Amino acid sequence: MSPRPWRLITALAITAAATACTAGNQTTTDSGPKAEAPQTIEVWHGWSAPHEVKAFEDAIAGFHKLHPNITVKLVKGQDDTKILNAIRSGTPPDVVSSFSTNNVGQFCSSGALQNLTPYLEKDKVNLSIFPKAVQDYTQYKGNRCTLPLLADDYALYSNKALMKGNPPPKTISELTALAKKLTVRNPDGTIKVAGFLPSVTYYEHVPEHIATTSFGGQYLNPQGRANFATDPAFTKYLQWEKSLLDWYGYDNVKKFVHSMGQEFEASNPFEKGKVAMGIDGEWRTKFMEEEAPKVQYDTSPVPVNDDRQNTYGGGFVTGTIIGIPRGAKHAQASWEFVKYLTTNTDALVTFANGLGNVPSTIPALASPNLKLPPQFKTFLDVFKNPNSTTIPSTINGGDFVVKFQSFVQDQWEPGKVPDLQKGLQGLDKKVNDSLQLAGG
C-alpha cells in the first residue's frame, strides 16, 4: 500500500458519515445472487499509480479463472469518505479496500462493513494463517468486519552517497548527530540537503511512526483513554523533535517542505537526493525501482531512543484492509472475491511483488516466489519482530491520531505551547471528550 494524504482528513470526515449507518451489522451468507450466477461485482480501492493498478489486476487473474461467471469491475483512487458516503446513500460497491486500519473501529461498530465471521465459519477459514498483529487490527471488539490485504511497516531509508560512509543510525542520539552532520545549507542558511527532517509535515514522519516505535509511546491507557500527558514517552518525543527542528530553523524547514515534490511522484526529495535519511514504508522500494533506479540506498530499522536499545529492530506495522459494505447487492460473490484475495498465496505474492508490499499471511511470507529487492528484507524482519507496534482502533477511528498530529503541527512546532504538560493535558481532554461523544 502507499498511504495517501487523505488518511488524516478521513478520520475527521468519517464520523459524520458513519453515524448515518445503522449500528450492528447482521450478516447473512445467503443474501443476493448465488456465487455461481453470472454477475458483475464492483470493487473500490485506493491505489492509483499505474504499477499499483496493474498489480491489482495481476493479483485477481487467478480469481477470473476460478470464477469465470463473476466479472470484476475495479475502481481506483477511492478513499474512506467516498466509501462511507456511498454506503450512507444506499449505493455501495460490492467490495471496498481501505488504507486506514485506524478506522476499523468505526467500520465495524457502525455496521458500515459486514461482519465476516459467518462467512469465515461457513468456509472454515483458519485465521491462524494471519500473524496475530494483523488479526488484531482487522477486528473491533470481536466484530471482524475486515480482512488484511497485504501489510505495511516502516523503516529508515538512507541515501548511500549522501551518507558519506557513515553507517545507518540505531539510536536517536546517533540519528540527531548524523542529521546535523549530513545537512548542507545554502549561503543564506536555508536547507539545500537535509540530513533528516523531524517535522510531522514531512510525509511519513508522522508521530505514530516515531513516537510509538522510537520512544514507545502508548496513545491510550488500559482504560481506553488518552495517555499523552501521562506517558513520558510523548514528552521525550516532542522535546527531541522540537530541538532538532529549532536547529534547522522552523522557517527553514517550512520553506524546504513547501519546495518538495509530491510524496508519490518521481519528484520525491529522497529520490532526488535532497534528503539523506527518511522514514518510509516498504512500498518505497518499488517506487525507487520505477522512478530512481540509479540511486543507491540502504534500509534499516527506525532508530530508537537511547534508553530503548533492546527494542531496536521493530517498527510501526499497519496494512490495507478489505471488506463487504452493508447493502452490497452481490454479497456471496463478493465474499468469494475477498476470500480469494486475502487467503490465496499466489494472489498475495503476485500482489506483493507488484506493489512492493509485505504479504499478510504466514504462507505468503515464506513463499520462494517473492521477488523483491535486497532492501526489502528489512521490512520482512520488522514485520516479524516482536517489538513492532501498531495503534489501537477506537469507535471514532483515528481521531486521537489526528488530534495529536494537529497539536504537534499547528501548536508545538511553531512554538505556540508555553507549557507542554498543560498542552498535553488539554489534548487528553479533547480526545476523551471526542471518545465519549462517539459512545466510547
pLDDT tens for 307-366 read 999 999 999 999 999 999 999 999 999 999 999 999 999 999 999 999 889 999 999 988
Give me Rg for the CA atoms of the chain.
22
User: What kind and span of H or E run contains 425?
Assistant: helix 420-437
Quick one: pLDDT at residue 271?
Answer: 95
Quick one: pLDDT at residue 133?
Answer: 80
Q: Are 291 and 302 in contact (CB under 8 A)?
A: no
Can you tell me the mean pLDDT for 387-416? Answer: 92
**pTM recorded for the entire structure:** 0.82
Residue 434: how many other CB atoms lie within 10 Å: 19
Task: Please check the confidence at residue 47 and state whether its pLDDT lies above 90.
Answer: yes
Mean pLDDT, the chain, integer? 91
Task: Please check the confidence at residue 408 and state whether its pLDDT lies above 90.
Answer: yes
Can you tell me the mean pLDDT for 86-107? Answer: 93
Beta strands 191-193; 184-185: pairing state: antiparallel
What percent of the chain has pLDDT above 90?
76
* Chain segment 125-176, per-residue pLDDT in tens: 999 999 888 888 899 889 999 999 999 999 999 999 999 999 999 999 999 9
State the Cα–Cα distance between residues 235 and 246, nearest whole angstrom. 16
- Identify the residue with better confidence: 437 or 26: 437
Closest listed residue to residue 358, CA positions, set 298, 286, 291, 297:
286
Q: Which residues contact 255 (CB under 8 A, 6 or more apart)?
A: 190, 191
State the Cα–Cα distance between residues 225 and 367, nearest whole angstrom. 40
Structural domains of the chain ordered from first start: 6-152+318-384 (3.40.190.10), 154-311 (3.40.190.10)
Quick one: pLDDT at residue 26?
Answer: 53
Can you tell me the mean pLDDT for 195-214? Answer: 96
Task: Please check the confidence at residue 16 and state whether its pLDDT lies above 50.
Answer: no
- Identify the residue with better confidence: 46 or 23: 46
Can you tell me the mean pLDDT for 200-225? Answer: 95
Cell of 297: 540506498
State the Cα–Cα distance between residues 306 and 308, nearest whole angstrom. 5
* Chain segment 236-263, per-residue pLDDT in tens: 999 999 999 999 999 999 999 999 888 8
* Chain segment 151-164, per-residue pLDDT in tens: 999 999 999 999 99
Quick one: pLDDT at residue 13?
Answer: 43
State the Cα–Cα distance between residues 132 and 146, nearest whole angstrom. 14
Closest listed residue to residue 150, CA positions, set 347, 332, 8:
347
DSSP-derived letter for residue 76 is -
DSSP sequence for 119-141: HHHHTT--GGGS-HHHHHHT-BT
Quick one: pLDDT at residue 7?
Answer: 44
**285 alpha-carbon distance from chain centroid:** 16
Can you tell me the mean pLDDT for 103-123? Answer: 94
